Amino acid sequence: MKTIPLILAAAAAAALPVRAQSADPIQKSMQFSNEGRHGEAVRILEEAAAAEPGNEALSFRLATALVFERRPAEARARFEQLSRSWDSQIASMAASSLAALDKAEAEERIALAAPPSAEQIRREREYAERKARLERQQAAYDLAASGSDAEAVAAIGALEARGEALPDMVRAKAAALDRLGDTAGAVEVLQRLCETENPARETRAQLAALLRREGDHEEAFGIWQDLRDNHGDTDEGRMAAREIAALAPPLNLERWSWGELDLYTAYLSRYGIGVGGGRLRQGTFVPGARWIEPFVQADFTLDSSSAVSNQGIATIYNENLAGFHAGARIRPFADQSFTLYVLGGVQNNLRGVDRYPGIWFAELVTGLNGFWAWGPGKEWAFADLETESPGGMPPLPPDGVNWIPHAWGPVSARFDWFTEAGFDASYYTRLSDCIGYVQARQGFRLLQLGRAGAVDAYALANAAMDTGGSYYDNYFEGGPGMRFVAAPVGAAIFTTSLDYVLGAYLGPNAGDSRGSARATYSDFRITASLSLRW
Amino acid sequence: MAALLAVEAGAKTLVIFDTPAKPFSMVDEVAPVAILLTRFDPAPLRKAAAEITTQDITDADRVVLVGVAGVPKLSKEVLAALEGKPLLGIGAAASLAAGASGESKPKAVAGGHVVLGDSEWEARIDPFYASAPAGAEATANVVRDGKAQPLAWSKGDRFGFGALPGAPPLSDIFSDLLVDFYGAPGKPAAMYFLVEDFNPSSGSAALRRLSDYFAHLGVPFAVSTQVRNVPQGTAIEPREEFLAALRHAQSRGGVVLLRGADSAADIEKFRADGIAPAGFDDAPAAVGLPLHTGRISYKPSPDSEPEPFPASTALLLPDGAKLLPANVRGGADGVALDVVAERIRGIASMRGGVAGVVIPAWLPFQSMRDIADAARSSGVPVAEPLILSQQ
């Protein structure tokens, strides 16, 4: 870019040519000077000036560094030489510096000649105290930065006792305590800091995160709410809004309703049939007892054929029932999926199979259910969010159902492990039977497509048992599988999986219903499922 | 007095300084003053006090005295020649404009506020020279511990600025004082939008959507573009899609600027494809089109690399064209969204302040829109860049 002759100080630049190789010494010397390491700045500039004796800009910088290194005689000699420069600007700059040097030296001589006043003594004492305090604070910072958590906690504690600990130090102490496993101690430290007038937003955000982990959801939620509502324009306010938006409904104290939709369909090669099922559930929370979640639901199960003629057996999988239920589930641990539930309602067989007459009948189901996942492979990576908002906070999700499309890029390979386990055990009045099953998957997330898709490979193991002794409710099976998980919009998750299992029926065969089916089997399955939460 | 001082074509301003830098420093304190003066005088003459003759004073319409390390030493004849000339004293030289024989003692003001009209900034001022004479009218004050002292003042044809205006907010307050010094008509503050550096690797979808958004709001804007080599591995759009997006922006009220271009051939390349460039971005030496946006660069010290100067008004280029400043930058390498409106309001508190809101063309549409919305929330009127440059 061309520049305006006057304002670019082009004359000065032309008069004081600096070769490219002198840029580095100048940068280094400026860095040393800024850090108060004037001796090192002088050494670098002396070398550079010796290499370029005609460079008056370098000489000026050296003279200045000599002043700060308290070598006034050498500085004076250089300034005097520069003040005779043919370049009027450098000459006037050197003359002005010489005058300032004269003035400073005169003031110093007068000060040395006179005995120190009470004010000077007081100032020196205060300076010494300030210096010692800053050194103690710096030592604590250094310990925290080096990861010596126990030592940092002790050092900051000592500073607190002296009333010298700054809020960011106390926050560092809380973080160190947390890393040392003393989260309760860290919470106590931050709560004490929050009791001071106008606690920093960072302190409150840090406290909320720890409280959340300690299980004190209510206080954590209150802090996030305040940060979001009263400091929404700040990083902490936006972070708090994200924390609240990411909370599961039971933990989000502003939410009074929740909803779930689950649909699935599968092809089972061992029977040559297709099966399906679904459930739409809408619930709420009991005020004062949010751990109780009443709900109503509509549900159905379906199969393409309930009689597998080549094996001489009747209904073996889905019962082709559709019904309406009301119930409640109890969530003992607010941040876990484990629930106890009871629901009752009416059902009817809509396909006229033999097992149920074509009339509506009442039933009751009660049981427990849970699902857990571990490992980095269960998480979405955040690379895609960064591309949506480069350098800034990720965009805030809107309230309510989120229908924002997710990006399918960037595509990245991942080899993050995961383990999943789930179970359900229930008693069904329509069957007079108690049926339980356990499912587990261990595998790797292989590929991620932005926030919208992922490919997993895994080994699966399933087991089922019942008290009635139906052979098809008592089995163990295992094998490999792959799945494609897609989240194209908002909270909707569409999963397609391909599994191959080897299984064995485990003993009971009540009513001799197995027909000609063998005790062991292999099964190739294709499953598609849709899950939506709001 | 305003009529007497009114800025006239070819106004000659003489800048006299004692020394370019403070003692033990190489930072040029006079260069920012000279840049700020180009708001009204495209080519102020800069001279050291030791070189000044009475003829220099006679030839000048206005004189600016800059006291960087002390009051510039002038001969009695030169001082006599200054009588009757509009005079602006800066830094240590403010006392000379105030008519004092000696120099006021400088002091550093830390933890104080600078107040200009209804706007207020926290600022450290070092050095500060309290120099206003009795009866002076202050346009800006330094307030500390509830006590106000004039920072920028005027009395008749004498003007004073008690600090060195190297950077905002001091440079903005100094620029505001120049409106009185040059007797220029007061102009309202304004802002304009500049979508910066749209090129074949930017992706045209975001520009198209932003153009539609601006058209929907009835907001004019400029988009600067260039055809350039992009790093290997960068996805680039087909030429037709790139050009079509520019035509789309044009059809939605956007004016197209050539970024860094300075030849007639560059203009013709675009004209042949139905795009009518209206000016240049970041090419202040370019000629042939009326609109200029971007930043003036200068060397803070003789041996440093050029740096952009943070101007908050339009500046005159040597050929008389105006350069609209690009001074409020959004996006990852700019200011946070929360600060955009505050920055614009600060600029708008100056008479004739111009906020050039830069929206990097590589941003996704949502981020572009966030910047535009944040800027519009300042309440400062959005101007059409071409009209703004001709006012």
Instruction: Read off the pLDDT of residues A223-267 as tens digits, 9 standing for 90 and up.
Output: 999 998 888 777 888 888 888 877 777 788 888 888 899 999 999
> A483: closest CA among A501, A463, A458?
A458
CB of B367 less than 8 A from some CB of A: yes
Determine the pLDDT at residue A530. Answer: 93
- The predicted model gives A167-195 an average pLDDT of 91
Residue A61: predicted pLDDT: 92
Chain B hits for A64, CB-CB cut-off 8 Å, are 24-26
- Whether A4 sits inside 8 A of B70 (CB atoms) is no
Name chain A contacts of B35, Cβ cutoff 8 Å: 7
Q: How far is A17 from chain B (nearest CA, A)?
A: 7
- Between residues B110 and A442, the one the model is more confident about: A442
**Interatomic CA distance for residues A52 and B85, integer angstroms:** 45
Q: Report the pLDDT value the prediction gives residue B309, as an integer from 0 to 100.
A: 92
Quick check: B20 and A92 CB within 8 A? yes
pLDDT band at B84 (very low <50, low <70, confident <90, very high): confident
Percentage of the residues of chain B whose pLDDT score is greater than 90: 53
Q: Chain A contact for B333, CB < 8 A?
A: yes
Give every CB contact of residue B178 below 8 A, 6+ residues apart in sequence: B36, B37, B39, B40, B184
Q: What is the pLDDT of residue B4?
A: 36
- Residue predicted with more confidence, A231 or B369: B369
Rg value, chain B, Cα: 22
Quick check: A426 pLDDT over 50?
Answer: yes
A27-48 tens-digit pLDDT:
888 888 888 889 999 999 999 9
pLDDT recorded at residue A304: 81
**Chain B residues within an 8 Å CB radius of A100:** 23-24, 69
- The more confidently predicted of residues A248 and B36 is B36
Q: What is the ipTM of this complex?
A: 0.78
Contact state of A93 with B20 under an 8 Å Cβ cutoff: yes
3-state secondary structure of A366: strand
pLDDT of residue A308: 59
The answer to whether residue B46 neighbours chain A at the CB level (below 8 Å) is yes
Pairing of strands B291-294, B277-281: parallel
Q: Are B108 and B130 in contact (CB under 8 A)?
A: no
Q: What integer is the mean pLDDT of A436-449?
A: 93
Q: Please, which pLDDT band fits residue B103 given cuts at 50, 70 and 90?
A: low
Rounded-to-integer distance, Cα A171 and Cα A201, Å: 11
> Among A199, A249, A141, which Cα is nearest to A208's?
A199
Average pLDDT over residues A131-141: 92
pLDDT in tens, B221-242: 999 998 666 667 777 788 888 9
- pTM metric for this prediction: 0.56
pLDDT in tens, B372-390: 999 999 999 999 999 998 8
Residue B108: pLDDT band (50, 70, 90) is low
pLDDT of res. B7:
47
Please give the mean pLDDT across all residues of chain B.
87
The chain-wide mean pLDDT, for chain A, equals 83
* Facing residue for A6 by CB, picked from B28, B34, B284: B34
Cβ–Cβ below 8 Å for A96 and B336: no
pLDDT number for residue B146: 81
Read off the pLDDT band of A10 (50, 70, 90). Answer: very low
- pLDDT computed for residue B246 by the predictor: 94
Give the gap in angstroms from C-alpha B135 to the nearest C-alpha of chain A. Answer: 33
Shortest Cα distance, chain B CAs vs residue A154, angstroms:
34
What average pLDDT does range A360-381 have in this prediction? 85
CB-CB: which of A7, A97, A387 is closest to B296?
Answer: A7
Determine whether the interchain pair B297/A8 forms a contact, defined as Cβ–Cβ distance below 8 Å: yes
Q: Quick one: which of B70, B86, B251 has its CA closest to B183?
A: B86
For the segment B244-252, the average pLDDT, to the nearest whole number, is 94
Whether residue A16 and residue B302 make contact (CB cut-off 8 A), yes or no, is: yes
Backbone angles phi, psi at A108, to 5 degrees: -70, -40
Over residues A176-201, the mean pLDDT reads 88
Pick among A3, A6, A52, A79 to test the B interface (most B CBs inside 10 A) = A6
A89: pLDDT strictly greater than 90:
no
Whether the CB-CB separation of A189 and A172 falls below 8 Å is answered with no
The whole-angstrom distance between B98's CA and the closest CA on chain A is 23
pLDDT value at B8 more than 70: no
Q: Mean pLDDT lowest for which of A7-16, A25-34, A68-77?
A: A7-16
Q: Do A57 and B303 touch (CB under 8 A)?
A: yes
B43–A96 C-beta distance less than 8 A? no
Q: What is the pLDDT of residue B229?
A: 65
Beta-carbon separation of A9 and B298 below 8 A: yes
Mean pLDDT within B179-194: 91
Measuring CA to CA, which residue among B305, B258, B246, B308 is closest to residue B283? B258
Chain A residues closer than 8 Å to B366 by CB? 388-389, 395
Q: Give residue A527's pLDDT.
A: 95
**Residues A224 and A242: beta-carbon distance below 8 Å:** no
Residues of A in Cβ contact (< 8 Å) with B18: 92, 96
Which of B45, B303, B317 is opposite residue A18, by nearest beta carbon? B303
Interface of A with B (CB under 8 A): 1-9, 12-13, 15-16, 18, 22-23, 26, 57-58, 60-61, 64, 67-68, 88-90, 92-93, 95-97, 99-101, 233-234, 387-392, 395
Q: Which amino acid type is present at position B113?
A: H
Instruction: Tell me the β-bridge partners of B88.
Output: B64, B159
